[in-house]
Amino acid sequence: MIEKDIVEAKSLAISATPTFVINGHTLVGRQSYNRLKQVVDAELNGENWSSPAPIAVDIGGAPFKGPESAPVTVVEFSDFQCAFCAKSTFPLQRLLAANPGKVRFVFKNFPLDIHPDSRLAHMAALAAGEQGKFWGMHDLIFSHQRTIKRSDLLSFANQLKLDPVRFQKDIDSPQLKALIEADKAEGERVGVVATPTFLVNGEVASGFSGEQLQTKIDSQTPHPIKIRWFVDLTSPLTARSAVAVQQFLASHTGSVQLEFKNFPL
């Protein structure tokens, strides 16, 4: 174990103790609590400046699942008559179940002109949403894409036990139609040309699978900072650093992983 740590230290060109390796970056010598905090906070809040700036979309009032405080927001521009959108629903459900508290999923309307029944289906989903049943109608429509004429949508409303008079009024509502048109215009503004198109924390991606979305979510979700601490136990500098390290770990519970490495000089 000790020999393995020494070999690892030499491969990293470490020659003094204590040495900290923080997410691949080396910090040499005795470190105060404030210095450790400064470095780790910088890593936690670090940004990739080569990445494009996040694209902002208006999600106020849009149907969503998951907590508003989630670190990752997935926005889908979707078409109820699109076969690929229907196929994405189950992977998305699994994605939300596998990432409790981490993801907020937002639905945006993007009915394509090539799908003649799509706009009415979007109107039906929003009309159901007026009675708190958007996601129920969403699931019924995607499960029965071949039968989404007006009579079918009225049947779905009956299955969901919606007020039929209110639903028939809302399905033709100019206000809901305006919401759909606003979503579509916004989608076109951010470059949506096909469905489904996803934005993960403002980064556009088309045709993502569940696995690809999971990878994106993992890259956007804060992970614990990993510190390898190369130590000579007889060094007085190590003893002085140990107090600061303990203090630091106590104040960063869950956000830092410390691995002790033997490096006797």
| Cα gap 209→215, rounded to integer Å | 10
Residue 252 carries which DSSP code?
T
What band does 217 get if pLDDT is binned at 50, 70 and 90? Answer: confident
53 vs 207 pLDDT, higher one:
53
| Cα gap 130→170, rounded to integer Å | 8
**Quick one: pLDDT at residue 254?**
66
Superfamily, domain 64-201: Glutaredoxin (3.40.30.10)
Summarize the confidence of residues 150-156 as an average pLDDT: 98
Q: Cβ atoms within 10 A of the Cβ of 137, count?
A: 26
Residue 165 carries which DSSP code?
H
Q: Where are the domains of the chain?
A: 2-47+224-262, 64-201
Three-class SS state of 14: coil
**Cβ atoms of residues 33 and 247 within 8 Å:** yes
